[in-house]
Structure 1
C-alpha cells in the first residue's frame, strides 16, 4: 500500500513508477487505487499493461474490498495499491470515534492485511521527521508501516539527515527520490488530465516515472515486503449476476388485482396495504432521504504528461489513435477500436413485506428514510413476485443458471454501446464485466468520430471531460441526432456526469443531443463528495426508494433544467434538500457516479431493459 501523510506528497508519481519498474523487473503487477478516482488508474494501467482498478469501501461496501482485490490480482505475483489523500483521511463523519475513517487508505490496508509504505514529501523536513513518522506508526496498531520512501530530496546531505530521522523510529528507507520538477506539469480542474487524452505523451511520462523509481528505490526490498493476509473467494461477475437472478426468481405471477404494499415515508416507516386499480410508477420525495456526509476526494498531485495523443489504457479504456494494441479489460484492441468500462451501482435497501428493512447489500445505514413524510410510494408484494418488483425479466421458472440463461457470455445477447474515447474516460472495469456476465455484448465507440454501433439496444454514457471536447462532440451531428431520436423511441440509456452533459440541449453553447430539457455550462466551483442518495422514481436501473452510495465530481452545472422527474434525492451537508438527475422515458441521467460491483442488480435490470427494447424494435 502506497500512502502518504497528506495529499500532494507524490503518491501518484511513486505508485505509477513503482508499477512500471516492477513490471520491467519481470513481475506481473496488479494496479489498484483507493477511492472513487478514475484518473490515477489510467496511469497505473499504462505502467502495468493491464487495467487499473479501484478499491472503495464507501461505494462497494467493506465486505467487497477483499473479493474485488482478489479478482484484480488474478494472474499477477505483486499488487501495488495507491492510497487516497493522507493515510487516515476518509469520509468525514462527525460521530466517528475509531481512528480509521471509512474509505481511508488505512481502512483498505487493514482489510487487505497489507504493509504500508509511507511516501514523505521531504521539502522542509529535517530531524523532526522522526516525530511525524512516530505518530503515523503508532496512531493505529492495526496498521503496519513497512518503510518510508523519501520524495523530493534536496541534496545528498538532506538525504543523510532524513535517513537518520527514519532510523530513530526504526523505519527502513526503501527509496530516496530527488526533486524532479519536470515531472510536475499543470493539471486540469479535476486533477490530473486523463492518460487517454495524452496518448504518447502519457506513455513517455509513465516511462520517466518508471526510470526515476527504478534508479532510486530498492525494488527487491519492496518485493520482499509485499504481502497480503486477505483470504476468501475472488469476486466474480458471473457469480454476482447469477446471485441477482436467483434472488429475484419469480415465485408466482403478480396480477393487478393482488395486494401491493404501499410503503409510507413517515417517521415510523410503517407499512399499510392497498389495492390500486392500476400499478403506477413509484415515487418518493427528496424530503424523505437520509442526510449525506460529504467527504473530499484526493485531487492527485502530479500530472506528468504533455500534449500528444496515442494509445493509452485508462481504467480498462483503450483509446488508440494509431494501430497499436492496448489492453482494455483484458482485451487487446488496435486501430481506431476502443474498449471501455463505466460506472454502476451500489447496494439498495428495499422494504420487506414484514415491515422492516431488507438489506440487499451495502454496509451502512439502517434507517430507510429520515425526515417528515409527505408522500408514499407503492411496491408490489414481493412475496408474490420478487422478479416483478426487481425489474428483472425471467424467461421461465427454471432455476437460474440453467438453460434459461447463460452467465459469463455475451453471445447472442443485446448489443450495448458504451461511449469511450478522450471525452468519456471515467469508468470502472467491473461495469463492462458485469454487463457481459448479464448476457450483453458491449461495443465501445468514440462519440467524437464514430456512429452508434450497429444493432445497439442500449447506450452507456460514462463520465469524463466533455467540456474539453464540446466543439468536436457537436461536430458529430449525425450521432447526436441518432441518440436523440432513439432516446425518444425508448432506447435504454444510462448516463453519468459526462453522459448527462451529452444529453443536454447544449454544452457551453455547443449543440448536444437534446434529450434533456436543459443546458450545461462550465461552472464557478468544484462539486465533489460522497452522497447517500435515494432513487425518487422507478427507472431502467433503480426502483423508487432504493438507496445508493455515489460520488459527485464535476465543475459543470445545469441551467434551465426543465421539469423532468428527478432521479435522486439527498440532503446536502448543510441539511438542504437536493434533487438531482433526470428521468425521461428509459433514460437515467445524473451527475452521480456509482460503482457497479456494490450491487449488480441495477446492471442486470439495464440488460433486461435492452433485451426488451431489442425484442420490440428494429434496432439500427
Structure 2
C-alpha cells in the first residue's frame, strides 16, 4: 500500500550538514502549513527530538539491521499515515553500515530502498568544485535500489564557486535544488555524543526559525517537495518492538536521563502500559504507585554531583528495589552502580544497587550494535530472550563483580563476534550499557 510521500535527506559522509538542512526544511515546510513528519535512520536519540521541535510532531527511528521488516513497516506507517511529507534524515554516509546482506546493513540507503523514498544529497562542497559532481555520481550509481533525485549544496564559498559546482552537476544531469553558503551562526551546539539535546539548547525555536529562513532563501522548496514519492509499505499492522516491563512504569526523565526511543515508548503505550515520569535531578523518587522503574541513558556524568546529593531520589530508588524491578540503560546503569567518576576525576557515590563502578574520566569510546541474550528471566524477557540494541558511550568500568548470577546478558557485535558477558543483575535490579531497540 502507498502512504504519504517521503524523501530521504542524506550525504556521502558525516559532517556534511544533513541535520542543519533537514531541520531547516522541516520547519520551513511546517510553517507553510504542511503536516511534516521527521524520521531518523539508525540508532540516534538526539536528532528525533530536534525533528519533533521543528515539526511539532513525533519523530521515530528506522533501523534496517536492528528492526524486523514488520516493525519497520509499522513505524513508517505511523509516520506517513496522515503526513503531507515525511522528511527522513540519514545517518553517517548514505551507504555506511555493517557487513550484512543488502537490505539489512543499518545503512540509510536500505530505508530509502525499502520505502521507495527518493534521496536528496547534501554535499559539502568546500575544497572542491566540479569534482563534487563525481562524488554525487558515485552515490547515484553505487546502489541500483535507490534513486538520487537531486542535491543541495552546502558551504558554498561564493557565487563563482556555486557556478563551478553547478557546471559539474549539469554534466551528470543531477538537479541542484539549492545552495547554502558558509554560515557558522547556523550551527547547533555540540557535546561528546553529538548535538546538545533539544531540551537544553538555548532559544531553540529562534534557532529553528533562522535555519528555516536560511533554507527557504536558498532551496527551491516547491521543486524539492514535488520530488517526493509515496511511502510503500507491505502492511500497516502494529508491531510492539519491546514488551512493556510492567503495567505502570516509573520513567526517569530530565536532562540527565533522556535517551528513550520514541518507538519504544509508543509501543509500551499501545500495549496498554502507563508511563509516569519523574526527575532525579529535581530529587524526585520513582512514584510509589508504579510496579517497575526504568532509568534510561543520558548524561549523568555531567550531573554526577547533583545525583549523588539527591537523597530522596537515591533513597526512593533503594526502597523501590526492595520489592519491585528496576532496569537501567547506559547512564541509568551507571547510576545504579556503586560510584561514578566524573570528567574531573571526582568520584561520586551512586545508588549502590549493582556491583559496578564506572568512570567518565577514563574515557574510551564504545560504539556499535549489540545482540544480547538474557542469562536469566526478568522484566526484559525470559532467559535466552534476544535483544537487539547498540552502545555509544565513553564511560569505562573500573570495578566489577561478575561472580555468581551477577551477569545480565551475553552479547555479540553485529557480525556475531563474541563480546562476552555484559551488564549486571542483583535481585530485581538489572542494567547494562547497551540500549535496546527491539526484541528478535
Fold-level similarity (TM above 0.5): yes
Q: Which residue of 2 aligns with 1:453?
A: 287
Separation in 2 of the partners of 1:126 and 1:433?
A: 45
CA radius of gyration, larger in: 1
Alpha-carbon distance in 2 for matches of 1:82, 1:229: 15
Shift of 1:101: 6.3
Matched, 1:85 2:87: no
Q: 1:185 Cα shift?
A: 5.6
Count of residue correspondences: 423
Larger RCO, structures 1/2 (Cα 8 Å, 6+ apart): 1
Structure 2 partner of 1:499: 332
2:408 equivalent in structure 1: 567
Structure 1 counterpart of 2:5:
none
- Indicate if the aligned counterparts of 2:354 and 2:430 stay in contact, CA closer than 8 A: no
Q: How does 1:551-566 map to 2 (within 5 A)?
A: 551-563=390-402, 565-566=406-407
TM-score in terms of structure 1 length = 0.65
Report the counterpart of residue 166 of structure 2 in structure 1.
163
**Residues 286 and 320, structure 2, Cα contact 8 Å, conserved in 1:** no
Determine if the alignment matches structure 1 residue 178 to structure 2 residue 181: yes
Looking at structure 1, the residues matched to 422 and 254 of structure 2 have their Cα atoms a distance apart, in angstroms, of: 26
Q: CA shift at 1:212, angstroms? A: 1.4
| 1:595 pairs with 2:429 | no
In the TM superposition, what whole-angstrom CA distance separates every residue of 1:26-66 from its partner, at most 9, and x where no partner exists?
11111000000111111111101122210011111234323
CA contact (8 A) 1:532 1:570 kept: yes
Question: Where in structure 1 are there 5+ consecutive unaligned residues?
Answer: 242-343, 347-390, 393-412, 600-620
* Higher percent of residues as strand: 2
Distance in 2, matches of 1:114 and 1:6, equals 19
Can you give the 5+ residue segments of structure 2 that lack an aligned partner in the other structure? 1-7, 342-346
Hey, what does 2:320 align to over in structure 1? Answer: 486
1:576–1:139 Cα change, 3 Å: closer
Instruction: Name the residue aligned to 1:521.
Output: 359
Q: Deviations over 1:136-155 (max 9, x none)?
A: 11122211011000001000
Residues 1:469 and 2:303 are matched in the alignment = yes
Return the alpha-carbon distance in structure 1 between the equivalents of residues 231 and 316 of structure 2. Answer: 51
Q: Over aligned residues, Cα RMSD in angstroms? A: 2.2
Alignment deviations for residues 383-428 of structure 1 (CA, whole Å, 9 cap, x no partner): xxxxxxxx99xxxxxxxxxxxxxxxxxxxx9431111110112111
Aligned to 1:234: 236
Return closer, same or farther for 1:419/1:110 CA change in 2, 3 Å cut-off.
Answer: same
Once the two structures are superposed, the pairs formed by residues 127-526 of structure 1 within 5 Å of their partners are: 127-184=130-187, 187-198=190-201, 200-236=202-238, 240=239, 345=242, 414-449=247-282, 450-487=284-321, 489-508=322-341, 509-522=347-360, 523-526=362-365
Aligned position for 2:118: 115
Distance 1:553 1:148 in 2: 30
**Cα offset, 1:89, TM superposition:** 0.9
Aligned partners of 1:135, 1:208: CA distance in 2, in Å? 32
Displaced runs of 4+ in structure 1, greater than 4 A?
571-577
CA contact (8 A) 1:43 1:206 kept: no
Look up the SS of the partner of 2:205 in the other structure. helix
